[in-house]
Amino acid sequence: MNGSSRVAEGRGDTTAGSPISPYRVAAIQTDPTLFAKDENIATLLRLTEEAARAGAKLIVQTEMATTAYCWGSRTEIAPYVEPVPGPTTERFGELAARYGCYIVVGLAEVAPETGIYYNTAALVGPDGVEGVYRKTHSYISEPKWAKDGDLGLPVFDTPLGRIAITICMDAVYPETTRIPALRGADVICFPTNWLSEKSPSPSWMARAFESGVYLIAANRYGLERGVQFSGGSCVIDPDGAVQDFLDVGDGVVYGVVDVRRARDKRLQPGRTEDKLADRRPDAYGNMTLHTYLWNGHTFHGLYELRPLPEGRLSRASVVQMAPTAGDVVGNLDRIATLAAGPEAAGSDLLVFPELAVCGPIMDMATVESVAEAVPGPATERLREIAARSSTLVVAGLAERDGDRLYNSAVLVSPEGVVGVYRKIHLTADDKAWATPGDGGLPTFDTPVGRIGLLIGYDAVFPEAARSLAIDGADLIACPSLVTGPAVMPWGATVIPHLPHVPVGPTADHFHLWRERARENNTYVAFANGIGASKEGAMGWSGIFGPGTEDQPRFDALIHGAEAGAVSLPIDTTNLDTPYATNPVRAKDLLGMRMPIWYDPLQVLHPAQPTNPMESSRREPAMVGP
């Protein structure tokens, strides 16, 4: 490399003034062997050269590709660690120079100045090491030998565009791709040793979709020390769709990166919604708070200011329906009928779609005729419905407050309005009539538990659900009238998995609202409309449990766009023990967040400073933390 830092600036489609043409990329899938570093490197050199000969300009290897993964101690791995730059990066640098490509090499790094070990991925180009990333969020195995990454979440400016790296467990956390995307990343290179579910994982798809970036996932397969890895290496588009994949076996997966597509952050072609520009950092004030560093019961109960609700065993239901535009009386009558019907019987919480009270807003004349204050006649009718069914009701409506109109959701109990949420992330249709919400992202305490509210488009923004979880939400109710992102099916895998993992074809492999539940250890109740928006909402309503990707799925789902309702038991107990074991109360994933690196999530206009690494290695071109 040339020793100067190339700083990524702006969101155009050029680097150093030259247009970037679409180019071929590759993911290398292997099954490396412990204690066989030389053999592993030989396999990687062969497959990497195969990819380079085939025209791949960016080639990604698996996590710890040179050494394998399941190490038990610093002593055991000590003979296999090496510095960066070092012998292995030099060998791959020769390939990069010969073919004019860039290679992401996964290896166990030692920092010579400290003797500290890291799970590392190096970006090697024709001029040598261009960048280094150290895994930020450790899986259970890293603390046996490696320190958490201390280089932040950098972006490296190259002739191929702006490249970032994230490693395995990092992808459970939206922050690790969101922050590079805010700094201009076009491509996320993703070396991983993923396990416990059929791959490509829906978590990988979520990371690509929500920030509009390409994700090149190189995953290993095979069995090591009793751990079964899931294969499924792939290239994922900025809309979350998989270009190509390899289920099992050594091999190369190819794809194409079009930088212009990565820099077009529109939600859908022909729409104006923007996945980054529509963010509301002014509402994300708790992104850097490490609230689950301590036991949630103790933390939220500190000073007895706002302890978590005791919680209980409950039942929640979501109702999928097509509200009629402008017909408040008729819609409320239907809500009352559905609340009293057999599908909702015994529910402690009923969630109806976005604008369920007034129907979709087609024009200003409609909204002027249906908008009303809260509390008001509509919320009084909802209170009566809640009292008749002895339940809580969440429903969407057009709210009038003085001369302002809001797309709002109300949480109503038999006693009255418990809380109001005004939608903060507005679609183009919303902006035609609604004011952006001014109340932030509140949570409300009820006998069912602590409840947060989102509306439709809000869920595209990972910061929104994360904010509610940080505040202790047990359940997020999400009334919606959305057409996407699409629920994606996936086929079978030949990789053997534990009995709870569906290895056959699945119709709902990727469902964004399930990912919001998994990554936040919360229940999510997604009540979507059908055929009720200008484009026709997609349905697929459901309730999703708080378990992570390595736990059995616990959800209830309406497949497709038929009217109906589904219910799921909700458990928000576990405050009667010193340390919670219920995931919705323990929120282990939130406890493992690394907020020290998350400042850009709260900044209105994240800076893109040059921040070369302070070490004895050659300084890579990067956009620093």
Q: Supply the pLDDT for residue 11.
A: 42
Q: Give how far Cα 401 sits from Cα of 208, 358, 376, 437, Å.
A: 38, 16, 11, 11
| Residue 281 in this model has a pLDDT that exceeds 90 | yes
Q: 516-566 pLDDT, tens per residue?
A: 999 999 999 999 999 755 557 899 999 999 998 888 899 999 999 999 999
Regarding whether 324 and 239 lie in a shared domain, the answer is no
Q: Supply the pLDDT for residue 157.
A: 98
- Number of domains observed in the structure of the chain: 2
Average pLDDT, the chain: 93
Regarding whether 381 and 329 lie in a shared domain, the answer is yes
Q: 374-396 pLDDT, tens per residue?
A: 999 999 999 999 999 999 999 99
Q: Supply the pLDDT for residue 575.
A: 85
Handedness of CA 419, 437, 267, 428 (dihedral sign): positive
Averaged pLDDT, 584-591? 96
Q: At 207, which CATH number?
A: 3.60.110.10
The reply to whether 614 falls in a domain is no
Q: Supply the pLDDT for residue 580.
A: 85
Closest CA to 210 of 286, 274, 269: 274
Share of the chain above pLDDT 90, in %: 89
Averaged pLDDT, 436-464? 98
| Residue 353 in this model has a pLDDT that exceeds 80 | yes
213 touches 187 (CB < 8 A): yes
Regarding whether 189 and 122 lie in a shared domain, the answer is yes
| Residue 612 in this model has a pLDDT that exceeds 70 | no
pTM to 2 decimal places: 0.94
Regarding whether 262 and 339 lie in a shared domain, the answer is no
Q: Are strands 161-165 and 187-192 parallel, antiparallel or unpaired?
A: parallel
Regarding whether 320 and 263 lie in a shared domain, the answer is no
The reply to whether 291 falls in a domain is no
Closest CA to 378 of 459, 319, 323: 323
Regarding whether 372 and 249 lie in a shared domain, the answer is no
| Residue 500 in this model has a pLDDT that exceeds 70 | yes
The reply to whether 293 falls in a domain is no
Element holding 451 (H helix, E strand): strand 449-453
The reply to whether 367 falls in a domain is yes
Q: Give how far Cα 427 sits from Cα of 235, 264, 511, Å.
A: 29, 17, 20
The reply to whether 299 falls in a domain is no
| Residue 311 in this model has a pLDDT that exceeds 70 | yes
Closest CA to 625 of 132, 192, 1, 189: 132
The reply to whether 324 falls in a domain is yes
Cβ neighbours, 10 Å, residue 275: 21
Regarding whether 331 and 194 lie in a shared domain, the answer is no
Regarding whether 354 and 402 lie in a shared domain, the answer is yes
Regarding whether 327 and 259 lie in a shared domain, the answer is no
Share of the chain above pLDDT 70, in %: 93
613 touches 132 (CB < 8 A): yes
**Single residue among 226, 259, 275 that ends a domain in this structure:** 275
Regarding whether 327 and 218 lie in a shared domain, the answer is no
612 Cβ contact partners less than 8 Å away, ≥ 6 residues apart = 5, 619, 620, 622, 624
Q: Three-state DSSP class for 163?
A: strand
Q: Are strands 443-446 and 449-453 parallel, antiparallel or unpaired?
A: antiparallel
| Residue 615 in this model has a pLDDT that exceeds 70 | no
The pLDDT confidence band at residue 18, using thresholds 50, 70 and 90, is: low
Q: 72-86 pLDDT, tens per residue?
A: 999 999 999 999 999
**Single residue among 524, 539, 572 that ends a domain in this structure:** 572
The reply to whether 3 falls in a domain is no
The reply to whether 113 falls in a domain is yes
Q: 114: exposed, middle or buried (C-beta count within 10 Å: 0-12, 13-18, 19+)? A: exposed
**Single residue among 250, 275, 300 that ends a domain in this structure:** 275
Cβ neighbours, 10 Å, residue 588: 12
Regarding whether 340 and 253 lie in a shared domain, the answer is no
Q: How far apart are CA 150 and CA 575, in angstroms?
A: 35
Q: 225-272 pLDDT, tens per residue?
A: 999 999 999 999 999 999 999 999 999 999 999 999 999 999 988 899
Element holding 97 (H helix, E strand): helix 87-99
Which structural domain, as residue segments, surrounds residue 175?
23-275
| Residue 54 in this model has a pLDDT that exceeds 90 | yes
Lookup: tokens for 171: 């992808």
Averaged pLDDT, 5-9? 39
Q: Supply the pLDDT for residue 306.
A: 95
Q: Supply the pLDDT for residue 537.
A: 84
Q: 393-416 pLDDT, tens per residue?
A: 999 999 999 999 999 999 999 999
Q: How far apart are CA 129 and CA 122, in angstroms?
A: 7
Regarding whether 380 and 466 lie in a shared domain, the answer is yes
